[in-house]
Structure 1
Amino acid sequence: MKILLLVFGKTDEDFIIEAIKHYEKRIKHFFQFEIEVISEPKLHGKQALKRQLDEEAKLFKSKIKDYDNVFLLDENGKELSSVEFAKKLEINMNTSKKRLVFIIGGPYGFSQSFKNKYSNNISLSKMTFTHQMVRLIFIEQLYRAATIIKGLPYQHN
């Protein structure tokens, strides 16, 4: 199983870069994992927000294959415990889909049409985090889910 994380813009905080590398190395013991960074479109003028969301959706769609199972990391998505996320991940890993794609939207989230098309929405918390922190939190949760699935002693219940 391959898991792809799509994000806009590079991570620029050194401590986050190091922590992400740490978890990436650990995750690769369980499945193929890749982070793909997309350059964020910068639009200005009237209707810029709608155009930005539409342009971001186009960029994301260009990276998604028909066989992918897509999850949006969205503040209005469903909140899951780590164990619930692990179960969801395991179920999806056992389907015929070749790849799971998780997407962190731009600063304004996702367009409504994009959310309608890809309705698997997950929220990491009701709290607001920077996009850089969301990357790290999600990757740690992905690693935690892998250890839960394998029954390894990382998660404490």
Structure 2
Amino acid sequence: MKIQLWSIGKEHDPYIRDGMTVFQKRLQHYVDFEVKLIPTVKQAASLSIPELKKQEAKLIMDLLQPTDFLLALDEKGKMMTTVQFADFLQQRTNASTRQLIILIGGAFGIDETLLQRAQLKMSLSPLTFPHQLVRLIFTEQLYRAYTVLNREKYHHQ
């Protein structure tokens, strides 16, 4: 299975880039993982929030393949423990999922059309985090889940 983390927004700040590099390198031992940054919609400031979300959704829908499993990070999504997330990854592997797309939406969230397309909506926390930090947190959690699946000592239960 290939996992891609898609995020709308700007390049990583140096402290995020450094952390991402660490966990991306560690993940190479377990899974084909890639981060894809989707540039912000042109003239986003002149658009209403619903129109901006709609245009972001169109960009993403154009990139998605029909067979992609879409996990949308959304504040109203399902919360999971690390072990539950690891179990989810194992289920996707067992189901022969070719590509798992994890989507971090834009500044105002994810348009309803994309949420309807998503096979899973997941929340990291009831707290609000900067998008760049979510990239780092999620990448670390992905690594942590794979260490759980491989019964390694990184995650303390």
Where do 5+ consecutive residues of structure 1 fail to align? none
Question: Does residue 1:109 correspond to 2:87, yes or no?
Answer: no
State how far apart, in whole Å, the 2-side matches of 1:44 and 1:123 are: 27
SS of corresponding position for 1:24: helix
Deviation of residue 73 (structure 1)? 0.8
Question: Where does structure 1 differ by over 3 angstroms across 4 or more consecutive aligned residues?
Answer: none
Alpha-carbon distance between aligned partners in 1 of 2:153 and 2:45, rounded to the nearest angstrom: 49
Query: What is the count of residue pairs matched by the alignment?
Result: 156
CA distance in 2, matches of 1:15, 1:143: 18
The SS at the match of 1:17 is: helix
Structure 1 CA distance for aligned equivalents of residues 37 and 4 of structure 2: 10
Which sits farther off after the overlay, 74-83 or 36-45?
Answer: 36-45
Name the aligned partner's letter for residue 103 of structure 2. Answer: I
Assess if the C-alpha contact under 8 Å between 1:72 and 1:122 holds in 2.
yes
Q: Which residue of 1 aligns with 2:128?
A: 128
- 1:95-128 residue CA offsets vs partner (Å, 9 max, x unmatched): 1321111000000001122212214111110111
Instruction: Report SS of the residue matched to 2:129.
Output: coil
Unaligned runs of 5+ in 2: none
Task: Report the Cα offset of residue 68 of structure 1.
Answer: 0.8
Match of 1:145 in 2: 145
Equivalent position of 2:40 in the other structure: 40
Report the residue type matching 1:97 in the other structure: T
How far apart in 2 are the matches of 1:119 and 1:92?
Answer: 11
Contact conserved, 1:4 with 1:101, CA < 8 A, in 2? yes
TM-score (norm 1): 0.94
Any idea what the Cα deviations from partners look like across 1:38-95, whole Å, max 9, x if unmatched? 11113344x6211111111011112211111110011111110111110011101211
Q: Is the 8 A contact 1:43 1:51 kept in 2?
A: no
Identity of aligned residues (%): 35
2:17 maps to a residue whose letter is: I
3-state SS of 2:122 partner: strand
For 1:21, the equivalent position in structure 2 comes to: 21
